[in-house]
Structure 1
C-alpha cells in the first residue's frame, strides 16, 4: 500500500512539472536583498514543513522567492533612498560598507586549550571618497567581531548625545539557541551590514572619528572612552571639597565616567521632581519641542498599530497563496484520476480543463508569493521606523538627563549659598569672628566656584543636545515624508501590478474553458 502511494506522489510530481509555472523574472534572487531576506523573518512565519503543498511542489521559501518588482524606477535595494545616495560608489559623496565572510576564530588565551572560547569575525569592506577616510578612491578591509560593534555603539552614544543614533543589533542570545549556527551567523551578518550602512547614512556619524577608527584601524578597537565635560568637572570636584559629601571625601566613579556622587544627587533631584517637591530652578521651557515630542509619541502609537496590520496583511496573503497552491494540487490529483479512469473523449476533455485550472491556481499561488515578497520589502519600512523611534527616545533621554544635571547643580549651588549665609550670620554674632566658621566659608566658596564651572559646562552641553534634537527632528520630518511616500508608492504599484497579472491568469483560463 505504501509503495502505491509513493508511486502516486512521484507521478503527481511529474505531472506538476509539466505545468507552466515559471514567470519571466529578472533573474535576481531576493537573497541579494538583505532587507527583504531579514524582513521576511520578522513579518511572516516559515511555511509548515508538514504542508502537503510544500511536500508536493517543494517551492522556495519566501526569503528566496524570485520576483519582478513593478516599481523598478524606485529604490530596489535594502535601504532608503537617502542611504543609497550616501553609500552608492557612483555618488559624488559616498561611504559604502559591506559585511561578508563570517569566520570562526578562537580566543588567543585559549588557543592551546581544547574546546576554548570561540567567536565569529566578519570581513568589513569600506569604499569611500570622503576626506575623513583618505579621499577619493579609498578602500580598505578589516575583520571585526560583534563585541567591537557593541563598543562602537557605546562610544557613539557617549559622543553624540541628542542625535538619533541608529540602534545596533541585539546580542540575540535566544535566537542563537533556537537557530542553526549557520542561520544565526548569516542573520547577524545581514543585521550588522544594515546597522553600519545606517550609520554611514547619518549626516553627523558618517564623518565621526569613532566610525572611521572602527572601519579603518585594524586590531583591537582603540576607541578611548569619552564623557561629557560636566561629568569630568564634577568628577574632579568630588575629589576636592569635603562639603559636597560630608566629612569624608569620596574618590569613586561610576561606569562611563559618571561620578557616583552626581548620580546620588541627580537621583534625589529626580525624586523631588516626581514627587512634586520644590520646583526645580531650571525647567524645560521649549513648548514647541514638548508639542513635537507629544506628536511623536502619538506617531509611535499609530506606527505600532499600522505595523501589526501590515503583518496581518502579509500573513493573509501568505495563507491565500498556500491555499491556492493546495487547490492546484487537488485539481492535479483529480486530473490524474480522470485521465486514468477515462473511457470517453469527453472525460479526457474534462481532464484537460481541470489541468488548466490546476495550472492557473499554481500560477496564482506563485504570484501571491512574489507579491508577498514585495509587500514585505516595502512595508518593512514600518518596522524600520519603530527602530528609529527607539533612537528618538534615546536622544530625548539624553536631553532629560542633561537637564537633570543642570537642575542638580543649580540646586546644589542654592544649597551652598544658603549654608554660607547661615555661617556668615552665625559668625557675626561672635566678637572678632569665628575662625572655624570663616575657614568653612572659604572652603564652601571654593566648592561654589568648582560647581559653577560644572554648571556652566552642563548648561553648554544641554544647549548642544537641544540643538542636536532640533536638527534631528527637522531631518526626521523630511526623511519620514520621503520614506513613507516611497513605501506607499512601491506598495500600491506592486499591488496593482500583481493584481493585473493574476487577472490575466484567470482571464486566460476563462477563455480556455469558454466552451463549457
Structure 2
C-alpha cells in the first residue's frame, strides 16, 4: 500500500516506542529532575526500582496504558489483556457483551489413516456471552467452528451485508511468534462476534445463538461440509447425464442456494453455460437487472470503496509519522539528558552548570512531548479505525451483490431450460402424431418431459422469489449502510479533531513552560 514503509493494521495499536523510552517518567514535574547519581551509574540506562524515591519511575507498558481522550470517553488499548469483555456495539442487540479469551492448545486424536503420529493440535477459545434476558453462557470454540458459523450465515442470509470473518492465515501463523499470533486471532475473533451481534438481522439469528450458547462440539451441517457437497454432486451426475425422467431437473428446494455450492454439478455447468451466453452469445438474456436505482447505488458503493482505500492509506501514513515523531522526540530527550549529565560532571564554571540545568529542562520537555505523541497516536488509531472497518465491510457488500447476481443467473438459466424443454416437447408431440396409432416410446418421453417442465416451473417460481428476497435484503442493507455511515463518520471526525486539538494544546503548554524557564536567553539577545 505504501511501498516499503511500515504499515499498521487499525485492528492493532501502533508498536510501542523503543525500549529506552520506557525508562523515563514522562509526566514528572520539571523541577523534580535529579542530578546524576553519586556512584557514577547512568540513571537513563539503569533506572531505579519502582520503590525508589527517584523521579524516574517506569511508566506503565504501552499495552496497559489507559488513555483519556479529550472528547470525554476512556478507551483502553485494544490488545490489552486486562480488558475482559467487548461490548456489543448495538443497543438493539440481544447480547450485552461477548468476549473471547483463554486460548488453550488441545490435542486432536489421530485418525486411523493419519500420517501424523499422536494427532495434531489446535487452539480453542473461551467465548463468554452476557445476554439481556439476563443470562450468561460460556462455550469453547476452535477456529474451524467460526468458519462453519460464517458459512451457515452466508447460506441463510443471502443479500445481507454480513461482517466478514477473520482469514485463516497459515503463513502468518508460521512467520509470527505463536503467542503473538494467537493473541491477534483472539482479538480479531472477539471483534468479529461483536460485529455479528450488532447486525440487526444476523444478531438475532438462531445460527449465532447456537454458536454462542450450545455446549459441546458445534455440529457441522451436511450442507456446509464441502466434501459432502462435492460427493453428492458427483453421485448425482451420472443419473442426470444419462438417466431418463425428471432426475436432471433442478428441484425447487435447491434454487435457494448458489450452484457453486457443489451439490448439483450439472446445475453448475448449466449456469456456467448461461453466464457465457450472457457475456458472449450476442443475445439478450431471458431476464436482466432492470433496477436502475440499484445499479446507480452499486456504482456509488464502488466509488466509496476507492475513496476509503485512499483515505485508509493516508491514515496509515499519519499513524506512522506520529509514531516516528514521538520516538524521535524521545530519543532527543535522552540525548539532551546525557549531554546535561556530561556538562554537570565536567563543569568548571557556574555557566556550565546553568547550561546543564537548561539541557535537563529541554530534555524533560522533549520526553513529555514524546509521551503526548504516543497517547495521541493511540487515539488516532481508535478514531481512524472507522475507515478500516468500512473498507473491510466492502467485502460483505460485494458478497451480498454477488448473491443477487447468482440468484439472477439461476432465474435466467431456468427460463432458458424451460424454453428448451417446451421446444423438445412440441417436437416430440408433432413427431408422434405423424405415426399411425401413435408412438408409445415417444408418448412416454413426452410425459416425462412434461413432468420435468412442471418441476422446472416450480423451481423457476422459487428462484424468482429468492431473487426478490435478495433484492429486498440489498435495498434495506444499503439504506442501513447510508444511515450508519453518516453517524459513524461524524463520530470519527468529532473524536479525531477534538483529540488533535487537545494534544496540540498539551504539547504547546509543555514548550511554553520551557520558554518561560529559559526566557533569559531571549533577554540576553535583546
> C-alpha displacement at 1:363, in angstroms?
0.6
Q: Name the CA distance, whole Å, in 2 between partners of 1:444 and 1:39.
A: 58
Q: Determine the structure 1 residue equivalent to 2:129.
A: 126
Which of the pair is proportionally richer in helix? Answer: 1
* 2:10–2:388 CA contact under 8 A, matched in 1: no
Structure 2 counterpart of 1:68: 68
Q: 1:459 aligns with which of 444, 454, 464?
A: 464
Separation in structure 1 between the aligned mates of residue 77 and residue 263 of structure 2, nearest angstrom: 42
Give 2:509's match in structure 1, choosing from 504, 510, 513: 504
Deviations 1:279-298 (A, max 9, x none): 11011111111110000000
2:293 is matched with 288
2:347 to 338, 342, 345: 342
Given that 2:88 and 2:97 are in contact with CA atoms closer than 8 Å, whether structure 1 keeps it comes out as no
Pairwise CA distance, 1:109: 4.4
Question: Residue 221 of structure 1 aligns to a residue in which SS?
Answer: coil
1:4 alignment counterpart:
none
Alignment equivalent of 1:222, drawn from 197, 202, 219: 219
State the secondary structure of the residue aligned to 1:169. coil
Give the CA deviation at 1:224. Answer: 3.2
Contact 2:65–2:77 (Cα < 8 Å) also in 1: no
User: What secondary structure is seen at the aligned counterpart in 2 of 1:402?
Assistant: helix
Q: Is the contact between residue 324 and residue 362 of structure 1 (CA under 8 Å) also seen in structure 2?
A: yes
1:327 to 1:241, Cα distance in 2 relative to 1, 3 A: closer
| 3-state secondary structure, aligned to 2:520 | coil
Aligned match for 1:85, one of 84, 87, 91:
91
Task: Please say if 1:371 is aligned against 2:368.
Answer: no
Q: Following superposition of structure 1 onto structure 2, how do residues 187-226 of structure 1 map, counting pairs within 5 Å? A: 187-222=184-219, 224-225=221-222
* Residues 335 and 239 (structure 1), Cα distance of their counterparts in 2 relative to 1, 3 Å cut: closer
What SS does structure 2 have at the residue aligned with 1:85? coil
* 8 A contact 2:125–2:186 mirrored in 1: yes
Partner of 1:436: 441
Moved more, 262-271 or 414-423: 414-423
In structure 2, the partner of 1:422 is: 427
1:107 aligns with 2:108: yes
Q: Note the alpha carbon deviations across 1:447-498, whole angstroms, 9 max, x for none.
A: 1001011111111111111111111111111111111111111111100000
Deviation of 1:276 after TM superposition, in Å, equals 4.0
Any residues of structure 2 matched to 1:107-256 within 5 Å, and which? 107-109=108-110, 116-129=119-132, 136-222=133-219, 224-225=221-222, 245=241, 256=261
Aligned partners of 2:159 and 2:404 also within 8 Å:
yes
Structure 2 match to 1:23: none
The equivalent of 1:299 in structure 2 is 304
> CA, structure 1 residues 239+332, in 2 after alignment: closer, same or farther (shift >3 Å)?
closer
Residue 103 of structure 2 aligns to a residue in which SS? strand
Query: How many angstroms does 1:139 deviate by?
Result: 1.3
Report the Cα offset of residue 307 of structure 1: 0.2
Unaligned stretches of 5+ residues in structure 1: 1-37, 88-92, 130-135
Check the 8 A contact 2:67/2:74 in 1, yes or no.
Answer: no
Residues of 2 paired with 1:470 and 1:258: CA distance?
29
Q: CA deviation at 1:247?
A: 5.3
The answer as to whether partners of 1:82 and 1:201 remain within 8 angstroms in 2 is yes
Q: Secondary structure at the match of 1:121?
A: strand
- Identify the range of structure 1 (342-351 vs 302-311) with the bigger mean alpha-carbon deviation: 342-351
Whether the 8 Å contact between 2:159 and 2:474 is mirrored in structure 1 is yes
2:36 is matched with which residue? Answer: none
Contact 1:342/1:348, CA 8 A, preserved across alignment:
yes
Structure 1 residues 278 and 60, CA gap change in structure 2 (3 angstroms): farther
Q: Is the 8 A contact 1:265 1:408 kept in 2?
A: yes
Paired with 1:416 and 1:391, the residues of 2 have a C-alpha distance of 37
CA-to-aligned-CA distance 1:363-394 (integer Å, 9 cap, x gap)? 11110111001001110111111111101111
**Counterpart Cα distance in 2 of 1:144 and 1:285:** 44
Distance 2:408 2:19 in 1: 55
Provide the rounded CA distance (Å) in 1 between the counterparts of 2:356 and 2:237. 95
| Structure 1 residue 404 corresponds to structure 2 residue 404 | no
**Structure 1 residue 100: Cα displacement:** 1.2
Select 1:310's aligned residue among 315, 320, 329.
315
Task: Judge which range, 432-441 or 173-182, deviates more.
Answer: 432-441
User: Which runs of 5 or more structure 2 residues have no equivalent in the other structure?
Assistant: 1-7, 25-43, 48-57, 79-84, 522-526
- The 1:412–1:462 alpha-carbon spacing in structure 2 relative to 1, beyond 3 Å, is same
- Secondary structure at 2:519's aligned position in 1? coil
Over residues 311-335 of structure 1, what are the superposed CA-to-partner deviations in whole Å (9 max), with x where a residue is unaligned? 0011111111111112112211211
Q: 1:241 and 1:464 mapped to 2: Cα distance?
A: 33
Partner of 2:34: none
TM-score by length of 2: 0.79
Change (3 A) 1:42 1:193: closer
Q: Give the TM-score, by structure 1 length.
A: 0.81
Conserved in 2, the CA contact under 8 Å of 1:282 and 1:407?
Answer: yes
Aligned counterparts of 1:406 and 1:508: Cα–Cα separation in 2: 73
Does structure 2 retain, via aligned residues, the 8 Å contact 1:329–1:358?
Answer: yes
Distance (Å, rounded) in 1 between the aligned partners of 2:363 and 2:236: 82
Q: What SS does structure 1 have at the residue aligned with 2:342?
A: helix
CA distance 1:123–1:74, shift in 2 (3 Å):
closer
Q: 319-328 or 429-438, which moves further after superposition?
A: 429-438
| RMSD of aligned Cα (Å) | 3.4
Aligned to 1:31: none
Q: Distance in 2 between matches of 1:128 and 1:395?
A: 29
